[in-house]
Amino acid sequence: MNKEMLTMRMKGYALTTYGRELKELNNKERYTVFSKALMEDILPKWKASEEKFEGKKKAYYLSAEFLMGRALSNNLINLGYMSEVKEMLSSMGMDYNALEEAESDAGLGNGGLGRLAACFLDSGATMNYSLTGYGIRYNYGIFEQKFVEGYQVEEGDKWLEHGDSWSIRRQDEKVVVDFKDQSVYAVPYDTPVVGFSGETINTLRLWQSEAITEFNFTAFNNQMYDKAVKEKNDAENISKVLYPNDSMESGKILRLKQQYFFVSASLQDLIRTYKKDHKDFTEFSRLHAVQLNDTHPAVAIPELIRLLGKEGVSFKNAFDIAVDTFAYTNHTILKEALEQWSVKLYKKILPEVYAIIVKIDNMLSRQLADKGLTEKEISEFEIISEGNIKMAWLSIYGTHSVNGVAQLHTNILKDTELSGWYNLFPERFNNKTNGITQRRWLLESNPELSAFITELLGHDGWITELSELSKLKKFAEDDTIIERFMRIKKAKKLELKEYIKEREGIEIDENSIYDIQIKRLHEYKRQLLNAFHILYLYNRLKTDKNFDMEPRTFIFGAKAAPGYARAKAIIKFINEIAEVVNNDADINGKIKVVFVENYGVSYAQKLFPAADISEQISTAGKEASGTGNMKFMLNGAPTIGTFDGANVEIVEEAGLENNYIFGLTVEEIEELKAVYDPKAELEKNPVLKSIVNTLIDGTLDLAPEENFKELHDSLIKGASWHDPDNYFIIRDFDAYVEAQERVNEDYKNQLEFYRKGFLNMASAGKFSSDRTIVEYANEIWNIPSITEEDEESLAV
Ligand SMILES: *Cc1c(COP(=O)(O)O)cnc(C)c1O
C-alpha cells in the first residue's frame, strides 16, 4: 500500500466531492473519501483478476438476497492493509473505528439465505474461483427496526443515502427486460469482492431498474405532472425494496417482477458476453455453471430456454443446455415456504415464459409416461398443478443438481419431502453443508481470539484453511491456555456490555452468563420457548428463597416480517418480560433480558464473539442448516440446541459432552404428531401452565393484548393453518429447562465451562464456507481454481 498516494487521493476526493479540505470532513465524509481512494487501488487488480479467468469455466450465483454488511474492514483485511491503514489514519488524526462505524450495512437480505450468499462470495474469491454474484440493487434493504413501547416498528433502510463508494455503475452494459405490460432497463452496479490476499477479485453485479423514457415531455407540457414521471416511477419500483419475508411465501406481482427482472438481465448478460467469441451455443454449459439460491431465481430455467430460442436453438437442445448449466439449492423444509406462483399471474406478466413452462411440464409428463408411471403417479410430479406453478418442481426437473444445506436436511429431502423426485433422479441429489467465512466471523469480529489462535498454531494458515484449528485441541488440557481463552471472552463480553449500554441504554452484568439467541423471528425457531424459560427462572427466584442460579443475561436479536403478526407478538412479549424482570429489585439482578434493536450483520459481529452459550432451539426437522450456530461455535460458545440442521454436525465435530442437546428428534416428532395433545400435557404440568397463562391472565402485568391471546390460542387450540402447539414447545419445555440447568451447573466451574467453548472453537474447521465452496466447485460446478502462479506456469 502506498500511503502518500492514498492520502493524496483522499485530499482530492474531499475537494471534488465535498468542496472542503480533508480535515474539515465529518466521519461519514471521511469514510466516503477513504473508500473511494481505496477503490482506486482495487480497480487495476480487479481487472487483472478478470483476465486470469478468460476462456475458463466460471460460476454464477443467482440470489435475490446478498446480506453483505459493511465492506471497509473486510476489504482492508483481505488486501492486507489493515494495520498500515490504522497507523496512517491515526497519524492524520483520524480514528479508524469512527470511520468503520460510519459505513451503512448493505442489508440486501433477510437472514441466513442472504448471508450465505455473502459468505460464498468471500470464499469463492479467496479460494481463487471465478464466482460472480447476480442480484438486485434494492434501493431499500431490510427494514430498520425500532421498538416503540415494546412493539416492532419498521422504517425504510436508506443505505444509499450517502452514496455507495464500492459500486461502479456500468451504464454501458445495461439491458432491456420486457414484461407483458412494461419494459425497463436493468443497469448493472458492480462491486468488487476481494478474496483474502487480494489475489482474486470477483464481482457482485446488482441490477437496478430504470425507465426507458424517464420523462414524458408532452405530458408535462400538458400539466399532467404525475403522468410525466409515471413510467420512471413504475420502473424504479421494481428494484425499490427488498421483500422482508423470511421463509414465508409471498405472492405479489412486484415480487414476481423482481425475480424475473434480475434473472433475465443476468442471463442476457451471459449470452451477450458468450456470443462475442462463439457462433453457436454448443459450448455454453461447458463455460457456465449457474447456481440458483433457492427457487427465487427458478424462472431462469424457462428464461434461458426462451432466450436461446430467440438465438435459433431448438426447445429440446435449449432444455438440455439449461439442465447442464443450472443447479438448485433447496433451503427449506417448511411447506408454507415452498414457492408457488399462480398461472394467472404468470400469464399476465410473463406469457412467453409461461408458454415455455407448459412445454417443460408436457415433456416431463411424456417422459414419466414412457417410464410406465400411471396418470395418478404422474400428477404428483406436475409442475403446473391446480392453477399454480410449483417452483421447486421446476427447479428439480430443470437442473442437474439438487442440494440440501446440511446432512440431516438433505436426508429429509431424499426420504420424505422430495422422495418421489429422489427416486426419479437419485444422481441429482447431494448435500452441501453450509459454512461461514472465518475472515469476517473471526478475523474481523474477534481480532483478540484470532491473534491467540495464530500464536498457538505458530502461523496464520487457519485464515484460508480452517481445518488447522483442530491442531488446537491438544491445548485444551492446559489450564493456562483455557485461562487465556477465558480472558479474551471476558474482554469481548465487556466490549458488548459497553455497546449495549450505548445502543440500548441497558446495563448488563459482564460476569453473568451471556445467553444469546439471534436470528430471524419465526415460530419454528422457538424464541417463545426461550421466553418461557426466562419466566420459569423468574418465577422460581420470586417464589423459592432457596433457589439460586448463576446470573444470566438473555440477549435476543431478531426482526419479524412486518405481516407476521404472531412473530411480532412474540417480540412484544419478550420486551414485556424484559420490562418486568429488569426492573424487579427482588431478584437482585440475577436475570437481565435485552432485545437489541435492529439486529443485522454489524451488530452480529459484536454479539457472536461475546456469547457464552448459543441458542439453537428450533423444532427438530425445521431448520435446514443454520449458520448462526457456526458463528457462535467458531467464537468458542457451546450450543444449547436440538438435533436439527447443522447442530447435528456441530455436535459430531465438537462432542456431545461439550454441548447441551435436548428435546424431541425428527423421528420422535414423526411418531408423536398424530397423537400429540398439548392441552392435556399442559394439564399435567402446572408449572408450565402458569407460565403459558401469563400470555392471557394478566398476572405479570403484561397488559393482556389481543395478540397474546392469539399466541396462546396457537399453542392450545391451533390457530389459522396451525395444529395446536405446532412446534412442540410444550412437549420440549421440561427437557429445555433441564438442559439449561446443566449449563447453570457447569458454569459454576468456569474453567471447565470455557474448556468446552475452547473445544468448540477448535472443532469448527468443517464449518468454513471455504470448504463448502470447494465442494460446490468440484462436485457441482466443475470450475478451476486459478492463482497467479498457475497463470505464470502456463505462460512459460
Ligand atoms: C448468520 C446470520 C443469520 C442466520 O442466523 P441463523 O441463526 O442461522 O438463522 C441471520 N442474520 C444475520 C445478520 C446473520 O449474520
Strands 402-404, 326-329: pairing kind: parallel
Tell me, yes or no, whether 189 and 309 share the same domain.
Answer: yes
For CA atoms 142, 68, 186, 286, give the dihedral sign: negative
| Per-residue model confidence as pLDDT tens digits over 428-485 | 999 999 999 999 999 999 999 999 999 999 999 999 999 999 999 999 999 999 999 9
* 113 C-alpha to ligand 1 centroid (Å): 8
- 696 to each of 95, 575, 691, how far by Cα in Å? 51, 16, 10
Pocket test for ligand 1, best of 444, 627, 629 (most atoms within 8 A of CB): 627
Question: Above 60 in pLDDT, residue 796?
Answer: no
Query: Is residue 627 among the annotated active site residues?
Result: yes
| Per-residue model confidence as pLDDT tens digits over 483-515 | 999 999 999 999 999 999 999 999 999 999 999
Cα 347 from Cα 623, distance rounded (Å): 34
pLDDT of residue 90: 93
Residue 458 belongs to some domain of the structure? yes
User: What 8-state DSSP symbol labels residue 12?
Assistant: H
Tell me, yes or no, whether 369 and 448 share the same domain.
Answer: no
User: What 8-state DSSP symbol labels residue 581?
Assistant: H
Q: Is the Cβ atom of 69 under 6 angstroms away from ligand 1?
A: no
Which residue is catalytic, options 36, 390, 525, 572? 525
User: What 8-state DSSP symbol labels residue 231?
Assistant: H
Nearest CA to ligand 1 atom 1: 628
pLDDT of residue 636: 98
Residue 668 belongs to some domain of the structure? yes
Contact 582, 595 (CB under 8 A): no
Q: Is the Cβ atom of 188 under 6 angstroms away from ligand 1?
A: no
Residue with cell 442480484: 135
Question: Above 60 in pLDDT, residue 569?
Answer: yes
Residue 256 carries which side chain, given as an amino acid letter? L
User: How many residues are listed for the chain in this entry?
Assistant: 796
Pocket test for ligand 1, best of 65, 517, 518 (most atoms within 8 A of CB): 518
Domain extent, residue 88, equals: 1-52+72-104
Q: Is the Cβ atom of 628 under 6 angstroms away from ligand 1?
A: yes
Question: Above 60 in pLDDT, residue 178?
Answer: yes
Instruction: Kindly indicate the confidence band of residue 700, based on its pLDDT and cuts at 50, 70 and 90.
Output: confident
CATH number of 155's domain: 3.40.50.2000
| Per-residue model confidence as pLDDT tens digits over 309-358 | 999 999 999 999 999 999 999 999 877 788 999 999 999 999 999 999 99
Nearest CA to ligand 1 atom 5: 628
* 471 C-alpha to ligand 1 centroid (Å): 28
Residue 145 belongs to some domain of the structure? yes
Tell me, yes or no, whether 650 and 697 share the same domain.
Answer: yes
End-to-end CA distance of the chain: 29
* 158 C-alpha to ligand 1 centroid (Å): 21
Question: Above 70 in pLDDT, residue 795?
Answer: no
| Per-residue model confidence as pLDDT tens digits over 390-420 | 999 999 999 999 999 999 999 999 999 999 9
Average pLDDT over residues 57-86: 97
Pocket test for ligand 1, best of 65, 122, 519, 605 (most atoms within 8 A of CB): 519
Question: Above 80 in pLDDT, residue 523?
Answer: yes
Contact 112, 181 (CB under 8 A): no
Q: Is the Cβ atom of 114 under 6 angstroms away from ligand 1?
A: no
Q: Which atom of ligand 1 is nearest to the CA of 69?
A: 13
Q: Is the Cβ atom of 577 under 6 angstroms away from ligand 1?
A: no
Contact 645, 333 (CB under 8 A): no
Question: Above 70 in pLDDT, residue 147?
Answer: yes
Nearest CA to ligand 1 atom 9: 519
Query: Is residue 519 among the annotated active site residues?
Result: yes
Nearest CA to ligand 1 atom 8: 626
* 444 C-alpha to ligand 1 centroid (Å): 17
Tell me, yes or no, whether 547 and 615 share the same domain.
Answer: yes
Tell me, yes or no, whether 240 and 173 share the same domain.
Answer: yes
Query: Is residue 525 among the annotated active site residues?
Result: yes
Query: How many domains, in total, are found in the chain?
Result: 3
Tell me, yes or no, whether 131 and 47 share the same domain.
Answer: no
Contact 582, 506 (CB under 8 A): yes
Cα 488 from Cα 449, distance rounded (Å): 6
Cα 2 from Cα 13, distance rounded (Å): 17
Q: Is the Cβ atom of 296 under 6 angstroms away from ligand 1?
A: no
Residue 768 belongs to some domain of the structure? no
* 495 C-alpha to ligand 1 centroid (Å): 21
| Per-residue model confidence as pLDDT tens digits over 672-687 | 999 999 999 999 999 9
* 685 C-alpha to ligand 1 centroid (Å): 34
Residue 769 belongs to some domain of the structure? no
Cell, residue 48: 487483472
Residue 10: Cβ-neighbour burial (10 angstroms; 0-12, 13-18, 19+): buried
pLDDT of residue 794: 65
* 110 C-alpha to ligand 1 centroid (Å): 9
Tell me, yes or no, whether 306 and 446 share the same domain.
Answer: no
* 399 C-alpha to ligand 1 centroid (Å): 28
Q: Is the Cβ atom of 557 under 6 angstroms away from ligand 1?
A: no
Question: Alpha helices, DSSP H only, in 748-778?
Answer: 750-762, 769-775
Of 443, 468, 444, 464, whose CA–CA distance to 456 is shortest?
Answer: 468
Nearest CA to ligand 1 atom 6: 628
Residues contacting 142, CB < 8 A, separation 6+: 67, 107, 108, 109, 110, 157, 242, 244, 559, 600
| Per-residue model confidence as pLDDT tens digits over 614-666 | 999 999 999 999 999 999 999 999 999 999 999 999 999 999 999 999 999 99
Nearest CA to ligand 1 atom 10: 111
* 231 C-alpha to ligand 1 centroid (Å): 37
Residue 673: Cβ-neighbour burial (10 angstroms; 0-12, 13-18, 19+): exposed
Which residue is catalytic, options 257, 520, 559, 566? 520
Residue 693 belongs to some domain of the structure? yes
Which residue is catalytic, options 137, 432, 519, 766? 519
Pocket test for ligand 1, best of 115, 145, 516, 603 (most atoms within 8 A of CB): 115
Q: What is the mean pLDDT of the chain?
A: 96
Q: Which of 283-287, 333-337, 451-455, 535-539 has the lowest mean pLDDT?
A: 333-337
pLDDT of residue 337: 81
Which residue is catalytic, options 126, 191, 325, 627? 627
Tell me, yes or no, whether 706 and 728 share the same domain.
Answer: yes
Pocket test for ligand 1, best of 65, 66, 67 (most atoms within 8 A of CB): 67
Q: Is the Cβ atom of 627 under 6 angstroms away from ligand 1?
A: yes
Q: Is the Cβ atom of 112 under 6 angstroms away from ligand 1?
A: yes
Tell me, yes or no, whether 153 and 76 share the same domain.
Answer: no
- 777 to each of 192, 283, 405, 481, how far by Cα in Å? 20, 19, 15, 37
Tell me, yes or no, whether 633 and 546 share the same domain.
Answer: yes
Nearest CA to ligand 1 atom 3: 112
Instruction: Kindly indicate the confidence band of residue 791, based on its pLDDT and cuts at 50, 70 and 90.
Output: confident
Cα 520 from Cα 323, distance rounded (Å): 33
For residue 161, the Cα-to-chain-centroid distance in whole angstroms is 23
Question: Above 80 in pLDDT, residue 690?
Answer: yes
584: left (phi over 0), alpha (psi -120 to 50) or beta: beta
Residues contacting 743, CB < 8 A, separation 6+: 513, 515, 613, 638, 640, 660
**456-466 as b/e, with b when 16 or more CB fall inside 10 Å?**
beeeeebbbeb
Find residue 131's DSSP bridge partners: 59
Cα 272 from Cα 284, distance rounded (Å): 12
Tell me, yes or no, whether 502 and 392 share the same domain.
Answer: no
Q: Is the Cβ atom of 115 under 6 angstroms away from ligand 1?
A: yes
Q: Which atom of ligand 1 is nearest to the CA of 626?
A: 8
User: What is the percent of the chain where pLDDT is above 90?
Assistant: 92
Tell me, yes or no, whether 311 and 223 share the same domain.
Answer: yes
Residue 179 belongs to some domain of the structure? yes
Residue 772 belongs to some domain of the structure? no
* 608 C-alpha to ligand 1 centroid (Å): 10
